[in-house]
Each structure stands twice: as C-alpha cells, then as structure tokens.
Amino acid sequence: MSNSIDEILSEYKLSIADLSELTEIPLETLKTWEKGLTNPKQWIITLLTGYLKQYSRSNQGIITKTKGIYSLDQVKAILLPFTFRYAIDKIVVYGDYSKNVANEDSAIKIIIEGKIEQSKWNTLNAEIARGFEKTICVLHETKIQKKSETYKFATNGVALYNRRLSHNLIQEMING
C-alpha cells in the first residue's frame, strides 16, 4: 500500500491535478503534501488508496471518464459475465477500440447478437454502462441497417465472444 502522495501519484500514474480532480482535495493541499511542507495523516493515505482502487487500471494508469484506455482484454472481462445472465450469442467491438487506435476520448462501441427481450435489453444496456468508466455505445444487431456506415464498421470489428465457438471449444475439451 502507498504511504505517501508521491507513491500514490506514481502507482496510479496520476498528476497532482488529476488526483485533485478525482478526489476533490484542493490542489494547494496536495501540493503542500507532495512538497513535504505538511504531511497527511496515515488514515488519509489509506482512504485515498482505497478510493482509487475502485477504478480500473491499464498499463497507462487508472481509467476514468477523461483518463486512460481499456485494453480489449479488460473490455472482454467486463462483458463476459453478461453472457451467463442474458441470451447473448456474440459480442463485437468496433470503432477505435477494434482498430487499436483508441484514445482517452474514444467511446467503446459494441454490438450484441442474441435473443434478448426489449425489457431485458434496457436492463442489460444499463448494467453494461455501469461496468465501464468510459462512454459505451451498445447496439443490438437487429437495429443496424445492412448498408449503413455502422454495419461497415461492425463487420470489421473484433469478436470478443461467440457462444457457438465457446460451446464447440467446451465440447472438444470434454471429448478430448
């Protein structure tokens, strides 16, 4: 566990201004702690590190609405649990994340295939949004027109999950 402001900044790859914005601790207070003019109590350091642990992290640091980028593996790990609770057949990410050109402003764009009732779709969409710090756009494949720009992007996307392939792999492992 971190025991100084410098260690927190280093561990979470934050600037002092980022830390101030995230925690709402005045920038001047953090600067006096960073310079060693005053020292925060250990319980404050403990609270800060506990608070920062709620955020996902990538090799660039923590991920917030305005900072950091998820890896495709992180996106997949967040989405896979939904495949057990909903009739999802396939999940495809498209756009910047699929092309490996995502930046801190990029939305995560996914298409879901499967037989999901409208009432459950709204719940699924809300649950997925809560799983990410970044903006996420979730579309059902039936809402995409075949000749649209979205369809063109989606067909070049990256499949993060495919029930049919997963089922075949499990069968091979069982029979194997």
Report domain extents, the chain: 5-54, 72-175
CATH homologous superfamily for the domain 72-175: Beta Polymerase, domain 2 (3.30.460.10)
Cα–Cα dist 90/111, whole Å: 8
Pairing mode of beta strands 136-140, 158-162: unpaired
CATH number for the domain whose boundaries are 5-54: 1.10.260
What is the separation of C-alpha 160 from the centre of its chain, rounded to a whole number of angstroms? 14
pLDDT score, position 136: 93
Cα–Cα dist 93/109, whole Å: 6
pLDDT score, position 146: 79
pLDDT score, position 75: 93
pTM higher than 0.85, yes or no?
no
Residues of the chain below pLDDT 70 = 1-3, 166-176
pLDDT score, position 1: 47
Cα angle value 142/143/148 (rounded, 5°): 110
Contact 72, 158 (CB under 8 A): yes
pLDDT score, position 82: 94
Cα–Cα dist 161/88, whole Å: 9
Tell me if domain 5-54 and domain 72-175 are identical in fold: no
- The partner residues of 161 in beta bridges, in order of sequence, read 91
Number of Cβ atoms within 10 Å of the Cβ of 59? 8
Pairing mode of beta strands 136-140, 108-114: parallel
